[in-house]
Copies of this chain bind each other. A is one copy, B any other.
Amino acid sequence: MDATSFYRIALDVMGGDHAPYATLDGACLALTNHPELFLVLVGDEAKLLPLLKHHGLVGELSSRMEIVHAPTVVTMEDKPTSVLKDKKDSSIRIATQLVREGKADGVVSMGNTGAAMVASVVVLGTLDGVYRPCLAGVIPNMKSCPTVLLDVGANVDSKPEHVAQFALMGAIYAEEVLGVARPRIGLLSVGEEDSKGNETTRAAAAILREIEINFGGNAEGRDIWNGNFDVVACDGFVGNVVLKSSEALAEGIVRGLRDSINQSLRAKIGGLLAKSAMKRFMKKLDYAEYGGAPLLGVKGVSIIGHGRSDGRAVANAIRAALRACEHKVNEHIQESIHRMLPASTTGSDIR
C-alpha cells in the first residue's frame, strides 16, 4: 500500500480514566483491524516507549505508527479552557494541532470532554456555513442500529437554525459512518403533534420541513430508545441532561438487580445460570460498541470518547474517525449546509 493512501489519526494517548493502558490497547487493536490506518500516538514519550511492547505495538503494527511528544496532560479536573492557556503543550491540544497542520486527518481523545471540544473548535475552526459545532451521542437503542442524539453538550441556548443544522449534520454522520440509508430525523419535543414543543423546536421544525431530508417530525423522549428515529436533534442542554440521566439510570438498574440477586443463595444461583443471557443483552446497551461521540461541524474529524473507555471502546472510536475520513463526512456536511442556507448567509457565522 502506498504511504499516501493511509489515513492518519492522532490519538491522545494520555486522555481517559485508564490511560495510557486502555489507549495503547485500543491502538494495537485498531492497527490490527485496519491496515489502512496510520496512528500518531500523542503523549509523554518517556512514559510511552517502555509500554509499547507490552501492548503489542511491535513489528508491522509499529511501522504504521509514530509517537509525537506532549509533556503535559489535561486532567478531568482541569478547566476546558486550560487547553488555550497553561496546557497548550498537552496531548489533546498537540493532537488537535496535528489535524490543523495537515499532519493528521482526524483526532481521537478519551480525555476531558470539555477540553477536547474547546481544542477542536478553537484550533480546527468551524466549517464554512456551520453556525455551531455540536457533539453527537451515538446511543444504543432497543433495535439493532444506534440513535444519533445531538447536541449532547456543546451548546446551550441553541437557536432554531442551530438545531436544524444539528439534525442535518447528524443525518450525514448516520448515513456515512453508521451506514443508515436515508436516516429518519426527529426533533426532540414534548409530544408528537406539530403544535407540541417550545419556541425553538417549533421554529426548527419549520426549517426542517423546507429542506430535502427525511424529516419525521417531533420525537418524544421514548423515541431515543425505541429506534423509531435514526437521528434525534435537540438543544445541547436537553441532550446533555437526557444522556447523563439515562446513563445513571441504566447503571443504577443493573447495579440494583445485581445487589438484590446477591442477597439470597437461591437468587445467586439463578443469577449465575442467567448470567450469560443477561450479559448478551447488556452488551447491546454498551456505548463502547460505537466508540465515542463525533464533534460535528469542525474543520477536521474529531471523536471524543467516554473517559471510562477500555481498549475495545478506544479501537471503536478510532474506527469511527477512520470511517468519517474515508466517507468524507465533512465534505458532505459542507455541501448540505450550503444547500440549506439561503445564498445571502453562506460564510462562517458563529452566532
Interface on A for B, CB 8 Å cutoff? 142, 153, 156-157, 188-190, 197-199, 201, 220-226, 234, 236-238, 240-250, 252-257, 259-261, 263-264, 266-278, 280-281, 284-285
Contact = CB atoms under 8 A, between A and B. Distances in A.
A136 to B, nearest CB: 16
A243 B248 CA distance: 13
A282 B264 CA distance: 16
Contact of A249 (B189, B250, B269): B250
Given A250-B253, A261-B274, A267-B274, 16 more contacts: A190-B240, A190-B241, A201-B237, A220-B241, A221-B241, A224-B248, A234-B241, A238-B238, A242-B242, A256-B284, A257-B281, A263-B277, A267-B277, A268-B274, A269-B270, A271-B273
A241 B244 contact: no
Nearest to A259: B281
A236 B156 CA distance: 16
Contact of A253 (B248, B261, B285): B285
Contacts of A197: 156, 237
Contact of A220 (B156, B201, B244): B244
A234 B240 CA distance: 14
A262 to B, nearest CB: 8
Given A243-B221, A277-B267, A281-B256, A198 B248 contact: no
Nearest to A241: B221
A190 B156 contact: yes
Contacts of A256: 142, 281, 284-285
Contacts of A264: 277
Nearest to A227: B252
A252 B199 CA distance: 31
Contacts of A274: 261, 266-268, 270-271, 274
Contacts of A238: 237-238, 241
Contacts of A257: 257, 278, 281
Contacts of A245: 221-222, 224-225, 242, 245-246
Nearest to A245: B221
Nearest to A149: B245
A254 B142 CA distance: 11
Contacts of A277: 260-261, 263-264, 267, 270-271
14 contacts: A220-B241, A221-B241, A221-B242, A222-B245, A224-B245, A224-B248, A224-B249, A225-B249, A256-B281, A256-B285, A259-B281, A260-B277, A270-B272, A273-B273
B249 A278 contact: no
A237 B156 contact: no
A82 to B, nearest CB: 14
Nearest to A224: B245
Nearest to A157: B198
Contacts of A223: 248
A244 B271 CA distance: 30
